């Protein structure tokens, strides 16, 4: 590699002396190194003349290959150094509805305690989170459950920490036709919705209309990004169901209105799940403590 690097400097500068200065080696040493490289390539790489040094035909063929090899080695060093970086790592899976709720305060605490930590966050449905936790793909799941007791019953080998109760309410953008006239499930069934991709919420949403013998509403957009849900509601005049905290700005600015529909008011328990048999590293304990503190603060 060093011989190739020296070859590139000589090719660029047209001088063995320049390579000697750059690598802090004597010029005879640089000359010997290039001779070794020429023997390895089986061809002469430079032509010497009174005007200096220039690449031979073989040297011109080697030049782009040598550049590529040196560049690849530099990239390899960066990748290996990144992989072997000493900081702790933590993988968090989170329900979309909690991405802007408990998670920011949790990461605040992790960054304060471990400045060199690497936190990976993935969102998914409750079913995906629990499967990823069981397989070891994530270290902790921060999810919405119908109840903490239900989460414990489903996951016998998992510790479940109940963090806070989350209420999801129906909302409509100001000016939506649904706000004119009496509110009814039949009218809501004919409206178009934007729902967060959280399976337990979708199940309960569907069941309300099924039990009433109504058609299932059209979910024009179903996405895990809560930020996109907010954008979709305003941009495409869609109804949604979310925790009020996630629409605080839109509520305060009177862009959305809460719908008084008890049947579409859903309660969930926000829970942190970890596998009981796995060693709870310090960084994971810090994560759980931060999640519990954030939940207590919100409940308070």
Find the CATH number of the domain harbouring 294.
3.40.190.10
Residues pairing with 140 in the sheet: 92
- Whole-number Å distance between alpha carbons of 48 and 213: 91
**51/70: higher pLDDT:** 70
Burial of 76 (0-12, 13-18, 19+ CB in 10 A): exposed
Number of domains the chain is built from: 3
**Long-range interactions of 39-46: CB distance < 8 A, separation 24+:** 45/7, 46/10
Tell whether 230 and 175 lie within a shared domain.
yes
pLDDT digits (tens, 9 = 90+) for 259-291: 999 999 999 898 999 988 776 678 898 999 999
Sequence-distant (6+) residues with CB within 8 A of 61 are none
Average pLDDT of the residues in 36-49? 90
- Please identify, among 83, 104, 132, the residue that sits at the C-terminal boundary of a domain: 83
Mean pLDDT of the chain: 87
pLDDT of residue 234: 93
Give the CATH number for residue 48. 1.10.10.10
Helix 199-211 and helix 126-135: axis angle, to 10°?
150
pLDDT digits (tens, 9 = 90+) for 221-255: 888 778 888 899 999 999 999 989 889 999 999 99
- Please identify, among 29, 64, 83, the residue that sits at the C-terminal boundary of a domain: 83
pLDDT of residue 203: 82
**197/66: higher pLDDT:** 66
- Whole-number Å distance between alpha carbons of 193 and 295: 29
Identify whether the C-beta of residue 270 lies closer than 8 Å to the C-beta of residue 166. yes
Tell whether 52 and 172 lie within a shared domain.
no
- Whole-number Å distance between alpha carbons of 181 and 176: 11
Tell whether 274 and 148 lie within a shared domain.
yes
Tell whether 50 and 178 lie within a shared domain.
no
Question: Could you give the dihedral angle defined by the CA atoms of residues 72, 78, 83 and 89, in that order, rounded to the nearest 10 degrees?
Answer: -150
pLDDT digits (tens, 9 = 90+) for 190-204: 999 998 875 567 888
Average pLDDT of the residues in 169-174? 96
Give the CATH number for residue 258. 3.40.190.290
Lowest pLDDT segment from 13-22, 110-119, 186-195: 13-22
Sequence-distant (6+) residues with CB within 8 A of 55 are 11, 45, 46, 47, 63
- Please identify, among 37, 63, 83, the residue that sits at the C-terminal boundary of a domain: 83
pLDDT digits (tens, 9 = 90+) for 115-153: 889 999 988 888 888 888 888 889 999 988 888 888 888
pLDDT of residue 123: 85
Nearest to 16 by CA among 37, 43, 39: 37
Domain holding 97, by residue range, is 89-165+268-299
Tell whether 150 and 77 lie within a shared domain.
no
Using only C-alpha atoms, what is the Rg of the chain? 31
């Amino acid at each position: 590699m060093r011989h190739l690097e020296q070859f590139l400097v000589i090719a660029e500068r047209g001088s063995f002396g320049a390579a000697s200065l750059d690598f802090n080696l004597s010029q005879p040493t640089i000359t010997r190194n290039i001779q070794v490289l020429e023997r390895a390539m089986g061809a002469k790489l430079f032509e010497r003349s009174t005007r200096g040094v220039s690449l031979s035909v073989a040297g011109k063929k080697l030049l782009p290959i040598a550049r590529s090899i040196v560049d690849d080695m530099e990239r390899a060093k960066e990748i290996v150094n990144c992989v072997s970086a000493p900081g702790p790592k933590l993988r968090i899976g989170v329900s979309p509805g909690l991405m802007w709720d408990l998670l920011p305060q949790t990461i605040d605490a992790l960054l304060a305690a471990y400045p060199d930590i690497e936190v990976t966050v993935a969102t998914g449905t409750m079913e995906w989170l629990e499967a990823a936790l069981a397989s070891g793909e994530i270290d902790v799941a921060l999810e919405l459950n119908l109840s903490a007791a239900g989460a414990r019953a489903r996951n016998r080998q998992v510790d479940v920490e109940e963090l806070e109760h989350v209420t999801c309410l129906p909302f409509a953008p100001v000016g939506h036709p649904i706000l004119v006239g009496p509110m009814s499930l039949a009218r809501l069934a004919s409206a178009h919705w934007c729902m967060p991709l959280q399976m337990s919420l979708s199940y309960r949403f569907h069941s309300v209309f099924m039990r009433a013998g109504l058609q299932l509403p059209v979910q024009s957009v179903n996405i895990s990004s809560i930020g996109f849900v907010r954008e979709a509601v305003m941009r495409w005049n869609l109804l949604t169901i979310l925790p009020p905290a996630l629409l605080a700005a839109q509520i305060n600015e009177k862009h959305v209105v809460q719908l008084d529909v008890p049947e579409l008011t859903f309660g969930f328990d926000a829970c942190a799940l970890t596998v009981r048999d796995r060693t709870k590293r310090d960084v994971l304990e810090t994560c759980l403590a931060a999640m519990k503190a954030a939940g207590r603060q919100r409940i308070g």
